[in-house]
Amino acid sequence: MAFNVITKKITMPDGKEITIETGKLAKQADGAVVVRSGNMMLLATVVANQTPKDGVDFLPLSVDYQEKFASAGKIPGGFLRRESKLSDYEVLVSRLVDRALRPTFPSDFHADTQVMINLISADAEVLPDAYVGLAAAAALAVSDIPFNGPISEVRVAKINGEYIVNPETSILKDAELELIVAANANDILMVEGEANEVSEQEMLEALRLAHAAIKHQCAALKELEAEVGKTQKREYKHENHDEELRTYLWDTYFDRYYEVAKLANPSKKARRESFKAIEDEYFASLPEDSTVNKSLAKWYFHDIEKEAARQLVLIERYRLDGRKLDEIRTITCEVDYLPTPHGSAVFTRGETQSLTTVTLGTKLDEQIVDQAMVSGYNRFLLHYNFPGYSTGEVKPNRAPGRREVGHGNLAMRALKKVLPPDAKNPYTVRIVSDILESNGSSSMATVCAGTLALMDAGVPIKAPVSGIAMGLISDPKTGKYAVLSDILGDEDHLGDMDFKVTGTSAGITACQMDIKVDGLSYEVLTEALEQAKQGRLHILGKMQETIAEPRSDYKPQTPRATVIRILKEQIGSVIGPGGKVVQDIQKQSGATVTIEEKEDGGYVSIFSANKAAMDIAVKMVKGIVTIPEEGEIYDGVVKSIMPFGAFVEFLPGKDGLLHISEIKWERLEAMDGVLEIGEQVKVKLIEVDKKTGKYRLSRKVLLPKPEKK
């Protein structure tokens, strides 16, 4: 078979090359491409139905990213040994693409659309998540699906003071700042990332560099679209409107909606009821034989309500709940709310509330990570739950959805930057945020509650972290705009931006931004970042009124932990044949003991809620790894008695000969009745035989020498 293959090569400003190939694989899809960088290859496909389902007035878009284990020469773990449902990491990458693509489709396009991106070849030095947006946009470019693109995504990191686009994996671990940025040729669409307490200016500099790289890729995608001959997209008509009805409703009811919005009611429920009363009044006024399309009427009422709330902000310069543009809702904080967990906090901001717990576990509680490109263990977990009752809704209790995974990941990235390093933190840390009420920015409430719970648990974090969600309402016709601090759920829905920023008093630790309109200038972005900083510091102050720093000690119910660093060659001695030694330590002490090998040596972690058990285990481990030194004094135990002396265990697993002549200053003729097996005896190591390694002990040198008569 002859393939009509078209290849587009993109040479980035730093010399890296990306190739896009279409026409060979998955030709029955509406659009399919293979994107390659190094040995990393992504297959991206897109398919959209020709007509929408009846009654659908939104874009049913699904985006799925999956890493094939074969791409990295691996076989999946688990019982089935095959790829199953998407991992949390794959869900997070899917969200990155979805958030960039969704606002770029025409607002009146409602056909079922599916984007699938598969990692089919891996490269250890090329992270595929930086290329998935480019791959998805390329698949759309070579299709006839309507799309207001192109768009693309890149990773930008600040490493050793230098900003780098799509850095190699091996150097990314040293990044002070790391962002995934999506944009079109004119505007930034989406940002997500983390940082080591960087400044707002550093964040803006990274965005500028990322956008410059994306513009380069977007230009190449336009050229590819023309080469494939897909500049003309399919015709569609997915909406049928009644312009007469729309005009009547806007003319009749807009002012009434605006007056309700001006009431500045702080209650979400009360506002909803007031707006709904206007809609209900209209439908009640209709005659029974009315031919008015009620679905369209509800659609138009929704648009009227949205525009009334937006105009309130732009004209009156205050918001639906009466707050000023930069005003933060009332905040209350409480720690140690739950008596049994290792740490707990309740954080309430307006009508948003998080009950968060911290659990400190052992190394045995680590999460096993089994991905195509990453295998290992994770010692910091943050789980976010969003039950239906938090918004007064009836919702089945199912596994966490993509939203819950995404919100939890953002909070995790915000807090992991202030956790103590592994060498100083022997615990596996799990934070669980249960959202009990929600009206805007529950993920930022999770960050604040998580910080409080960590400090309540006594975890020695570097600094407390707070978070805030910023919004934007703009009118391109008049040029007016308003940046909103601590947005409501309604403001998230009706606004043009959702910009979440977390950080300490020293700088930003994580961010997530979604833009819903064209034309967000860097001036507006700068203003939003500065306003966010002031809001973060205000929230941080409220938190520190409750607890200013981590508790000086863990709570009584928290398992105590200590870590002993040993030489690599001593690891086998602690473990013993078949694990016999470490099992014996745990049996005798009652503590939990784990051993981990790292580049700089071995690490023995000991956990116990009982101090006596901890002390026994520590003593036993130190006894095994301690190197006997001549001249040192030890507390020994008699293990066996021979005619010429006794063998004494002076360190665990280390026996020495206490010769009959070294027991007392007086001459002993025999060992009968001198010592007993199991008797404790203090001895001094007087010699280590250089040839045999045997130990010679003495007891008499520790006794007063009799005076000569």
Q: Binding site for Mg(2+), residues?
A: 492, 498
CB 471, CB 483: distance < 8 Å: yes
Q: Which helix (H) or strand (E) holds 252?
A: helix 243-262
Binding site members: 492, 498
HEC string of 116-132?
Answer: EEEEEECECCECHHHCH
CB 233, CB 23: distance < 8 Å: no
Best CA proximity match to 595, nearest among 623, 624, 566, 618: 566
Q: Distance of alpha carbon 673 from its chain centroid, rounded? A: 68
CB 658, CB 683: distance < 8 Å: yes
- Residue 663: phi, psi to the nearest 5? -85, -50
User: What distance in Å separates the CA atoms of residue 182 and residue 213, rounded to the nearest whole number?
Assistant: 10
**How big is the CA angle at 539 (ends 536 and 542), to the nearest 5 degrees?**
150
Three-class secondary structure of residue 321 per DSSP: coil
Q: Distance of alpha carbon 354 from its chain centroid, rounded? A: 17
User: What distance in Å separates the CA atoms of residue 488 and residue 323, rounded to the nearest whole number?
Assistant: 11
Three-class secondary structure of residue 511 per DSSP: strand
User: What distance in Å separates the CA atoms of residue 295 and residue 649, rounded to the nearest whole number?
Assistant: 87
DSSP letter for each residue of 572-631: HHHH-GGGHHHHHHHHHH--EEEEEEETTEEEEEEEES-HHHHHHHHHHHHHHHPPP-TT
CB 242, CB 217: distance < 8 Å: no
CB 564, CB 606: distance < 8 Å: yes
Q: Distance of alpha carbon 641 from its chain centroid, rounded? A: 61
Three-class secondary structure of residue 73 per DSSP: coil
